Amino acid sequence: MIIKRNWYPWLAIYIALLFNAACKLAQPVFNMDLETKGGLVEISIVGIDRDTGEQAVKAIAEDFAYLDQHWRVGSGGDLDRVNNLLPSEKVIAAPPSLLPLLELSQRFATTSSGLFDPGTGGFLTLWGFNAPPTESHPPPSFRAIRGLLQAKPKIRDLDQDGIIWRSNNAAIRLDFSGLLHGYGIDLAIARLREFGLRNAAIKFGGGIRIIGTRDGQPWRIPIHRPSGGGIFAFIELAGDESVINLGNDERSFLYRKTRYHELIDPRTGYPVTHTKAVTVLYKNAVTADAAAHALFIAGPHEWFDIARAMEISYAMLVDNENTLHITPELQQRLKILGKLPHTKLIHQE
């Protein structure tokens, strides 16, 4: 893990770029970047001395190192050891480290009607997303996908009694990648609070969580166009809120002029094609992360019902025809810059 230090006594360059800050801050801003297996973690803390900031970031770095070692498929840690035992359908003494993720996964799988289910990790393995990235390789055969679909793996196939687990389905494979950005962000915020810090932002992947304010002003978070061609909207956050942006530009590979991404519908076994991007705002980042994945898979016809079932009020979805679907609550808070071409704003009651 690489730690990159930046210290700006007044207006932080990072804050200016990421949040489009236009005014000078009265308090110092401490910024630091962590390089992790899951990508760059960007930390900004308002009103803190350098020594305290470095101590806090050191603790966060240790948490992410643990996450990378034990909670990622292919890391050789606790998750891999459990996945190697699951096909035996025998009783497993599961590592306590995985219990929080398992409990969250079971809850989110239930509220999303199975659209977000970390027990279906076999599909990601089948498509090659848990192997070292390659630019081009053939997709899995229809027969292989059908075989896994017929096995119907799901997180509820795990019976749990404390740390004792038993798999009732040899096809289940755990993959928590749809939770790890949000979980890591929440973990980092918890660490900052242990140090008594009350005004900060943590960005990891497509997610960000803020606490407090940016020197008395809301944090201004950009929402990028699904195509990656600039910013089309802003949302202001204050207090304790998270935003997750999820797009079809996630991990992907190109084969014979077709690009396949990692957001796979567990009902079909294939990457989703009806959705380009999803944005979810919620109190904590891990719930927003799971909900964003579920809404992306649900698509333009089901997303609104799934959002309500997961108690998500602030959400929007851009479908493959560039139509913007948005909840009334988020529409009121979103500051759209001009208009999206070929896009219609849908206000669903």
Taken in order 226, 180, 147, 303, is the CA torsion positive or negative?
negative
Residue 127: exposed, middle, or buried by beta-carbon count in 10 A (0-12, 13-18, 19+)?
Answer: buried
3-state secondary structure of 176: coil
Taken in order 52, 55, 57, 59, is the CA torsion positive or negative?
negative
Run of H or E including 305: helix 303-309
Strand-strand pairing, 158-161 and 252-255: unpaired
- Assign residue 74 a region (left: φ > 0; alpha: ψ between -120 and 50; beta: otherwise): left
* pLDDT for the residue 260: 86
How many CB atoms are located within 10 Å of the residue 76 CB?
10
Band (pLDDT 50/70/90 cuts) for residue 344 is: low
* pLDDT for the residue 14: 36
Tell me which of 3.90.600.10, 3.40.50.460, 3.10.520.10, 3.40.50.150 is the CATH number of domain 217-349.
3.10.520.10
Average pLDDT over all residues of the chain: 86
Band (pLDDT 50/70/90 cuts) for residue 20 is: very low
* pLDDT for the residue 25: 53
Angle between helix axes 285-298 and 99-111 (nearest 10 degrees) is 40
CATH architecture observed for domain 78-175: Orthogonal Bundle (1.10)
Band (pLDDT 50/70/90 cuts) for residue 228 is: low
Per the CB < 8 A criterion, the answer to whether 286 and 186 are in contact is yes
* pLDDT for the residue 343: 56
Q: Is the pLDDT reported for residue 252 higher than 90?
A: no
* pLDDT for the residue 330: 93
pLDDT tens digits, one per residue of 281-328? 999 999 999 999 999 999 999 999 999 999 999 999 999 988 889 999
pLDDT tens digits, one per residue of 109-159? 999 999 999 999 999 999 999 877 667 889 999 999 999 999 999 999 988
Residue 14 vs residue 246, higher pLDDT: 246
Which residue ranges make up each domain of the chain? Answer: 78-175, 217-349
Band (pLDDT 50/70/90 cuts) for residue 209 is: very high
338: amino acid identity, one letter: G
Name the DSSP class of 153.
-
**Edge-to-edge, what's the strand order for the sheet holding 164-167?**
91-93, 164-167, 158-161
Residue 280 vs residue 322, higher pLDDT: 280
How far apart are the C-alpha atoms of 6 and 15, rounded to whole Å? 12
Biggest alpha carbon distance in the chain? 62
What stretches of the chain show up as alpha helix (H) in DSSP? 13-19, 50-70, 78-85, 99-111, 122-126, 142-151, 177-194, 285-298, 303-309, 328-333
pLDDT tens digits, one per residue of 85-103? 888 877 888 888 898 999 9
How far apart are the C-alpha atoms of 231 and 234, rounded to whole Å? 8
Q: Which residue has the tokens 């020594």?
A: 51
How far apart are the C-alpha atoms of 203 and 33, rounded to whole Å? 10
Q: Is the pLDDT reported for residue 8 higher than 70?
A: no
List Cβ neighbours of 229 (8 Å cut-off, separation of 6 or more): none
Band (pLDDT 50/70/90 cuts) for residue 4 is: very low
